[in-house]
Amino acid sequence: MRLLQVSLRSSLIFSLLLVVVSIPVSLFSISALFNEEVDESMELHTQQFLKHIKSYANLDDLETDLEVLDQLSYDIDIKPSSNQMVSRAFRTTEIYDSVEHELRSYRELSNGVDIKGRHYVLTVRMALVDNKELILTIGLVQSFLIILLAAGLLLLNRRISKRLWKPFYKTLNQLKAYQLDRNEAIETDKTNITEFDDLNTTVRMLTDRNRKVFLDQKEFIENASHELQTPIAIFQSKLDLMMQNPSMSESEAGMISELEMTAQRMSRLNKNLLLLSKIDNDQFSTKEIIDVTWITKEILYDIKSMADVEAISISHDILPVEIMANRTLIEVLITNLLNNAVRHNVNNGFIRLSLNEGRLTIVNSGPKVQMPPEKMFARFSKESANTSSSGLGLAIVKRVCDSCGYKLNYRYEESHIFTVVF
Amino acid sequence: MKILIIEDEKELVNSMAQFLRQESYVCEIAYSEREANEKIMLFDYDCILLDINLPDGNGLKVLEKLKNSNKTDGVIIITARNSVDDRVKGLNMGADDYLSKPFHLTELSARVSAVIRRKRFDGNNALVFNEITIDLLGKVVKVKDTTVDLTRREYDLLIFLVANKNRVVSKNAIAEHVSGDNAELLDKFDFLYSHMKNLKKKLAEAGSDDYIKTVYGLGYKFST
């Protein structure tokens, strides 16, 4: 759920609750206020009535008049009472309305009065607002309010919030697309919101620092490999000199041979590391139209004698292909793939190479590997105890494909199948 | 024949000089750009081995100075930075060859003799070794008057061995020499046996003596 929706939901729920609670509260307060007004008004009526009746006290047939008044006036009842003292009392009653055919609420005030020495009960009556109608009206008004509120909030949320959060989403999208090995820093706009500016500054600092560490590390690998070349060269040269000693025994020769193999391995490993870091550092960027067919045939020629040692047969189906690419990278790519096919093969195995427009496929026999295919292309991931394998060959293949934008596929169907789509 | 080694790694210089002296080259050494500049101005050399990374400057400047003063010394650039740019730049500036560290001394020696040969004989050259004659331009090998039909690999192999005659050439050095920079499958250099066997057979059939000897498990030696 998005942050905007969460805040919107909370404010919506709160306003809804508020409106719902406000319905009974307003209902009670309005009717209480109204009753109070009605009571006051009835008391006034009673006083006025008594005041006026006093001025008619000299009339002889006042008794009859009062009876007529009682009959004619709907709001006022005045009835003779036998009771000496009727106390003052308010009450709410319901009287049948013959026009509307329903019961209506009334408020009544009864007082015991003495007129010309006779006891009367004076009742003043006023109609009350219909409770049902009141509820209905208030409910209607409040519902309208709720709709207005919700619509307003939603609209505000859409309009203002979207604009408000725009810098945040921009930064977020940039972070999503950010790749350490690409050459671009994160660009942020200045917003007037402190939090976003803070966020942007932090993000920029973080990515810049990561990038610096990454570049330093890349440079370190390249420098370390370079620095190692000279000591290995010295080591190698001393071995070459020792080899020339004519009085060497056979066991000494064996030892020197083993040392030389080791030196060779170090040198190979180092050269491959250097190659990897050079690919990473985009040092093979010059492109030209190259004849892949010719390169492939040359490499096949080179590799044939190695394959012959283990009686691996090589068959190929090569069509003329020319692509725009870096020559060194293409040579490295094909050489490493073929080396891999020879190295991880079996005696009397086979290699089948097919090259056609936009696609190079190399199939070789060999036992199934246990590690997952994606691990095969990681640096130094070796499965066999084949110590002379540097564990960098396929990593180099992967890096070349990545940097050239080629698609590299591997699958195992009784044999290893590598496909490069140019 | 005089060789100047311009290289700041003393241990490496010692090995190179010792190895080349055995081939009866006269070796002089410069450890810095300053020393190198002095020496190239004062003397002429048949071949200069030039390290690009010097403590007080870039070896390419030495090369520039050499070419500006119209000297014709052969130059082989040696560098730890095996970069295409350096190679192209060096060769464009007039260097004759390029060797990246680490290298085999036998490879170095073969390159040096190739450069000297080219300079000396102006390209019109043949290697003669007793009854074997190698025409380096036409890439034709003859024993007495019989032409030996060699494959590219066998020819490369023969040249490399002859350039290092009377020396032990390791299998590694040969493998690297004949399969270039991509000799990744070095544990499979049993492949050398068959090439070597074929080469020996072809030479013997053409009437040559057996000069190519196997040295323990180390490698081969073209010995007189």
Closest partner CB to B184 (pick from A237, A248, A268) = A268
Q: With 80 as the cut, is the pLDDT of residue B187 above it?
A: no
Residues of A in contact with B153 (CB under 8 A): 305
ipTM above 0.85, yes or no: yes
Q: Which tens digit of pLDDT belongs to each residue from B121-157? A: 665 577 888 888 888 888 889 888 889 999 888 898 8
Q: Please tell me which residue, A29 or A181, carries the higher pLDDT value.
A: A29
Distance from the Cα of A302 to chain B's closest Cα (Å) equals 7
Q: With 80 as the cut, is the pLDDT of residue A11 above it?
A: yes
Best to test chain A binding among B218, B221, B224 (most A CBs inside 10 Å): B218
Closest partner CB to A243 (pick from B103, B170, B194) = B170
Q: With 60 as the cut, is the pLDDT of residue B186 above it?
A: no
By CB atoms closer than 10 A (0-12, 13-18, 19+), residue A26 is middle
What is the side-by-side strand order in the sheet with B219-222? B168-170, B219-222, B212-215
- At A349 the pLDDT is 92
Residues of A in contact with B167 (CB under 8 A): 244
Whole-angstrom distance, CA of residue B49 vs CA of residue B29 = 10
Closest residue by Cα to residue A338 from A326, A347, A330: A330
CB distance B103–A284 less than 8 Å? no
Whole-angstrom distance, CA of residue A125 vs CA of residue A148 = 40
Mean pLDDT, chain A, rounded, equals: 85
Q: Which tens digit of pLDDT belongs to each residue from A297-324? A: 988 888 888 888 888 999 999 999 889 9
Residues A165 and A195 sit within 8 Å (Cβ to Cβ): no
pTM exceeds 0.80: no
CA atoms within 13 A on the CB side of B159: 24
Confidence of residue A16 (pLDDT cuts 50, 70, 90): confident
Sign of CA dihedral B53, B55, B60, B66: negative
Confidence of residue B71 (pLDDT cuts 50, 70, 90): confident
- Give kind and range of the element (H or E) at residue A313: strand A313-318
Residues of A in contact with B219 (CB under 8 A): 243
Whole-angstrom distance, CA of residue A217 vs CA of residue B92 = 33
What single DSSP character describes residue B52?
S
Q: Which tens digit of pLDDT belongs to each residue from A34-65? A: 888 888 998 898 888 888 888 887 777 888 88
